[in-house]
Amino acid sequence: MSNYTYSEPRGLRLSVIKASPNNIILKEINKNVASGVDTGINGGFFYSSDLLSIAVNNDIPACGVAGAYGSGWYNEKYARGTLVWDRSTGVYSVQVVKSAAELDVSDRSNYWAQGGISMSLQDDANWEAVATAQGMPNMTGSTYRTALIWNSGFNIWLVISEEACTAKAFRGAVKYLVGSGTIVDGIFLDSGGSTQMKCTENTFSGDGRSVVQMIAIITP
């Protein structure tokens, strides 16, 4: 049995993996997600071999050591929306930080945190200003998109759009098409050619490029 469920909501072409947050691990891969063996989607922003978004498991960055450049310890240049799952308290949050050292968690040996850009799904009036302040790339252009969101049932949802769209169109589709109205909040992840997914039901390789890091489902 798999530790996730897959769906394709009607409307904008979304592909969705739903899982438990306790079955998520943030991994360095340095290849295309579709070419690997792990189920999941692409993760944070990167340049060359350096990860430029926070990606930490239990205070250990996915791509190196705490405090090192390119390791997944920092959201480079900007304080950015970082989705945190605090396992000890069973609480999600989006925290706007530059460094994993700033994260507010109850137990630093029992959480994960993935950096991206705030979607502000409960704030339709201000989400664009927030995303712009966090350095959102290609806000209005049409491109593939990726997001990590959660719902009121404490599920985590890994979402990609295989149809090119604006950030606004993608956010709207995520909010109204995923989770039957139960979605709470989430983050945009790296997108464009970096939008990638791998599961038994679907493989999407973006433009074929390698990415540094992915959000993977722990298999039984």
Cβ(211)–Cβ(196) below 8 Å: yes
Closest CA to 24 of 62, 70, 51: 62
Q: How far is CA 19 from CA 46, 49, 119, 149, 155, in A?
A: 25, 28, 20, 11, 6
Q: Hey, what are 69's tokens?
A: 């450049």
Cβ(75)–Cβ(55) below 8 Å: no
* Residue 1, pLDDT score: 59
Query: Which residues touch 172 (CB under 8 Å, ≥6 apart)?
Result: none
Query: Which residues touch 98 (CB under 8 Å, ≥6 apart)?
Result: 74, 75, 78, 79, 80
List the chain domain ranges: 4-217
Burial class (CB within 10 angstroms; exposed 0-12, middle 13-18, buried 19+) of 25: middle
Cα separation of 94 and 102, whole Å?
12
Q: Provide the mean pLDDT of the chain.
A: 96
Q: What is the pLDDT of residues 83-135, one digit of tens each?
A: 999 999 999 999 999 999 999 999 999 999 999 999 999 999 999 999 999 99
Q: What is the pTM of this model?
A: 0.96
Cβ(13)–Cβ(169) below 8 Å: no
Burial class (CB within 10 angstroms; exposed 0-12, middle 13-18, buried 19+) of 124: exposed
Q: What is the pLDDT of residues 48-71, one digit of tens each?
A: 999 999 999 999 999 999 999 999
Q: What is the pLDDT of residues 154-208, one digit of tens each?
A: 999 999 999 999 999 999 999 999 988 999 999 999 999 999 999 999 999 999 9
